Structure 1
Amino acid sequence: MPRAAVLGSPIEHSLSPVLHNAGYEAAGLEGWDYTRFETAAEGLPDLVRGSTPEFVGFSVTMPGKFAALRFADTVSERAQLIGSANTLVRKEEGWFADNTDTEGVRGALIELLGDSPARHAMLIGAGGTARPALWALAERGVSTVTVLNRSDRSAELRPLAQELGLELSFTGFDGDLSALSRAADVIVSTVPAAAVEDCVFDIAHAPVLDVIYDPWPTPLTTCAAANGYKSVGGHVMLAYQAFSQFEQFTGVAAPREEMLNALNEELQRRSQTVK
């Protein structure tokens, strides 16, 4: 029975099993199963190395993405460029690492912007998710990115930006956020909702991709909607990164509509449970 799993810590609330198992059912992949394993970064190599041959692949969430890249026998160009991997696929020659978070952000930007051009982006946050976001923005045709972050992490992001052909600038929260956001064609927020809650009225002046989806909507997206701008949540990003993983694990086209429907139903169920 072919199997796959998501690895990380904490992992009990991961929505990846919902997406992948819905995909297996919709694609008629009988006997396929997707589960989850709790593991810290240091435990990932032994867990993957010791997995039985029925495990064809693993999704990797934090804190294991850097460990996954180091562990792999072969690595995709984009994973190497970004410096982390969220996907491990069993190959004849060993374990292959990829980063489909790039496709997650790309798909979410398509849902957000459609065919509208975007040249200037505001990126909120400079952590792990910022890196695939830069990749997707560059692929989208963005040429200039203003990074809004509480500390200057230009030394970490600038080499990647140069590889991607992006002009990067950094600003703190003491800048003119209203003017900066109004100059942007799109805003990508990669930080917890509370990190920008005090300044959402200054920031929310462009279409917003907020990687947060629980709780949803976030104060930033609510404010953007009030200003007449469309928003897309992290659940869309989650789905698009899973589509590529599904196809790499199974060799079958992902049944996207069914997977996304299952995700939305589970999110709705969880929101009702919280209430």
Structure 2
Amino acid sequence: MTGPQNPGIAHRTAVLGSPIEHSRSPILHSAGYRALGMDDWEYTRIECGAEELPHIVGAADESFVGFSVTMPGKFAALKFADEVTDRAREIGSANTLVRTDGGWRADNTDCDGITGALNELFDGELGQIRRALVIGGGGTARPALWSLAQAGVGEITVVNRSDRSAELAPLVKPRGADFRMVGYDADLETLAVAADVIVSTVPSAAIEGRETELGHAPVLDVIYDPWPTPLIVSAAANGYPSVGGHIMLANQAFRQFEQFTGRQAPRAAMRRALEESLR
């Protein structure tokens, strides 16, 4: 990344991660550039592990104005940054690096993705969510928990194989939410029936065989390929609506686009491009 390969490109952005070849972020951002006639902007993929991130970003020439960061680099991005937004610091990871006059600013727009998907699921009425059931306690669960607490959800239960209460409770308790963690041996059906929403942050294989127990509330499943997931099928069979991870992906990309470019994201064009790629 020592210099522009195409002299017509003045501004570069890219997604960093490993593996990265299947990332749909280039589809979203490139569609935004086309929609706004930003012909001198380019968005690419760069294979990058966590330990490589400081070198790759630090060596990026001035044409690079921002990076989207996917796993496994989200914790490394937070540590590398010269400046960190409050929400990225509270969540404990970053999916966005933006070049500033003082270096690189880290942010986490995954919470914008979660909130946008929940708004679509509940027609903008997030006050309907009083109790949430979150499946998984890993990296994607962190912005999900933070976003649910920000939305005023009063009771949040996390289902996970190990007890990570000490790590995850601080994401919700400062905002007044009751928090508890349970294992997969809990009465999942009773928890699901009591929930106003289920947010699944795990691969479908992680809950294989438990979909019937869990499919008793509206669902945000962060998986979008293949679609629909078995959890979504189970919830639909019981009459519950759902949204997939592509809605989350689009909404987190909108905010990244705006931070990278300083322009309002052309949301309809970006989402249309993503949905066409999934078909």
TM-score range, shorter chain: over 0.9
Aligned length: 268
The equivalent of 2:271 in structure 1 is 260
Q: In the alignment, is residue 234 of structure 1 matched against residue 250 of structure 2?
A: no
Matched ranges for 1:1-275 at <5 A: 1-114=10-123, 115=125, 117-268=128-279
Query: For 1:226-275, what per-residue CA distance to the aligned partner results, in whole angstroms no more than 9, with x for missing partners?
Result: 1000010000000000000000000000000000000000111xxxxxxx
Partners of 1:27 and 1:167 lie apart in 2 by: 44
Partners of 1:67 and 1:179 lie apart in 2 by: 38
115-124 or 163-172: bigger deviation:
163-172
The equivalent of 1:273 in structure 2 is none
Tell me, which stretches of 5 or more residues in structure 2 are unaligned? Answer: 1-9
Give the partner amino acid of 2:134: L
Deviation at 1:131? 0.7
Query: For 1:4-58, what per-residue CA distance to the aligned partner results, in whole angstroms no more than 9, with x for missing partners?
Result: 0000100011000000000000012121100010011111001101101010000
Give runs of ≥4 in structure 1 deviating > 6 Å. Answer: none
Partners of 1:151 and 1:200 lie apart in 2 by: 20
Partners of 1:264 and 1:159 lie apart in 2 by: 35
Give the partner amino acid of 2:53: L
The TM-score with structure 1 as length reference comes to 0.96
Question: Could you tell me whether the CA contact under 8 Å between 1:135 and 1:164 is conserved in 2?
Answer: no
78-87 or 109-118: bigger deviation:
109-118
The equivalent of 2:3 in structure 1 is none
Give the partner amino acid of 2:220: L
Deviation at 1:161? 2.1
SS at match of 1:198: coil
Question: What root-mean-square deviation, in Å, do the aligned CA atoms of Structure 1 and Structure 2 show?
Answer: 0.9
Percent same amino acid among aligned pairs? 63
SS at match of 1:191: coil
Question: Could you tell me whether the CA contact under 8 Å between 2:152 and 2:175 is conserved in 1?
Answer: no
Partners of 1:47 and 1:172 lie apart in 2 by: 39
Question: Could you tell me whether the CA contact under 8 Å between 1:149 and 1:173 is conserved in 2?
Answer: yes
Deviation at 1:224? 0.4
Partners of 2:92 and 2:182 lie apart in 1 by: 24
Give the partner amino acid of 2:76: A
The equivalent of 1:272 in structure 2 is none
Partners of 2:177 and 2:65 lie apart in 1 by: 36
Deviation at 1:163? 2.6
Question: Could you tell me whether the CA contact under 8 Å between 2:163 and 2:181 is conserved in 1?
Answer: yes
Question: Could you tell me whether the CA contact under 8 Å between 2:199 and 2:220 is conserved in 1?
Answer: yes
Partners of 1:22 and 1:107 lie apart in 2 by: 19
Tell me, which stretches of 5 or more residues in structure 1 are unaligned? Answer: 269-275
